[in-house]
Amino acid sequence: MTSTTPQPLNRLRKLWREGRPTFGAIATIPSIQTVQIMARSGFDWIVVDLEHGPIDLGSAHAMITATSGTSCIPLARIAANEPWLAKAPMDIGALGINFPMICSREQAEKAVRSVRYPPRGDRLWGPFHAPFRWGVSMPDYMATADDDMICMITIEHVEAVNRIDEIMATPGIDMAVIGPGDLATSIDKRGRADDPEVLALMARAEAGILKSGVPIGGVARTPEQANQMIERGYVGLALGFDWSLFQRGIAASFDGIKR
C-alpha cells in the first residue's frame, strides 16, 4: 500500500513566487450569493471583511464555504492584530489572514506566529470545520496547514512607512499590502489618497516592500492603474469592494441611456 504526500490547498503562494499577478476583492456584505457570484467571476481570492463589514462568524463561515467548487481562495481580514481574532476564521476554512495596521517588526512577528502551529507559531489547534470546506481529512489538513495559511499584513500608517525596512525583514510574511485610505488618514488627509504627501508615503512603502522580496499587494481602481502596478511588480491586486463593484456595474448599465 502506497501513501501519498498531501498537496497544498492554497495556490496563491506558488503564483506569487512565479511573479504572476492575482486579482481579488473585499467582501463586506454578509451574503452567500454575493460571494458565489464573485468567486465565479474570475477572482483569484476574496477577503471576507471582519474589520469593517457587518459580518459575524456564522456569516463568514457561509461566505467562505460559498467559494467551494471554484479556484477562488477565501481569506479573512480581522479587526486587530490579535491571535484570538485570527483563530476562528482559519478554523472555519479561510486560507489566510489579513492583519491590519502593522507598524513594527514586533507586530509583524505576532501576526506571523498567529497563523502557524507550534513550533513555527502559536496557532491553537481546533480546525473542526476547515477540512470539510476543503474536502480533506483532518490529518491531511494539518500536514499542509502551516504552508497553506497566508500571512498578509497591511502597511497603512505613517509609522509603518518609517519602519518599513524592519517590518519587511520579518520572516514568514507572505504578502504586504499598502492601504491608501488609512495611510492618508494617519497624516490627517482623510479621503485624499491622491494627495502628493500620501503618494510619497505610498512610494516609500512600495520601495521597501519590493526591496525585501516579499510579494506586494495594493488597490487598483482602474485597469490602467492595475497594469501600471503589475509593471512595477505587484502580484496581489484588489479591484474593489463588493459594494464599489456593484456601484460601478450599475453606473455602467446607465452609461449611454438617455434619461
Q: Which of 52, 61, 129, 157 is catalytic?
A: 52
- Active site includes 61? no
Preceding peptide of 21 cis, ω within 30°: no
- How far is the C-alpha of 102 from the C-alpha of 235, rounded, in Å? 20
pTM of the full predicted structure?
0.94
H-helix or E-strand spanning residue 177: strand 175-178
Residue written as cell 511573479? Answer: 19
- β-strand partners of 26: 47, 241
CATH architecture of 12-252: Alpha-Beta Barrel (3.20)
Tens of pLDDT, residue by residue, the chain (259 residues): 445 788 999 999 999 999 999 999 999 999 999 999 999 999 999 999 999 999 999 999 999 999 999 999 999 999 999 999 999 999 999 999 999 999 999 999 999 999 999 999 999 999 999 999 999 999 999 999 999 999 999 999 999 999 999 999 999 999 999 999 999 999 999 989 899 999 999 999 999 999 999 999 999 999 999 999 999 999 999 999 999 999 999 999 999 999 8
pLDDT for 98: 98
pLDDT for 3: 52
Compute the radius of gyration of the chain from its Cα atoms.
18
**Coil, strand or helix: which one is 105?**
helix
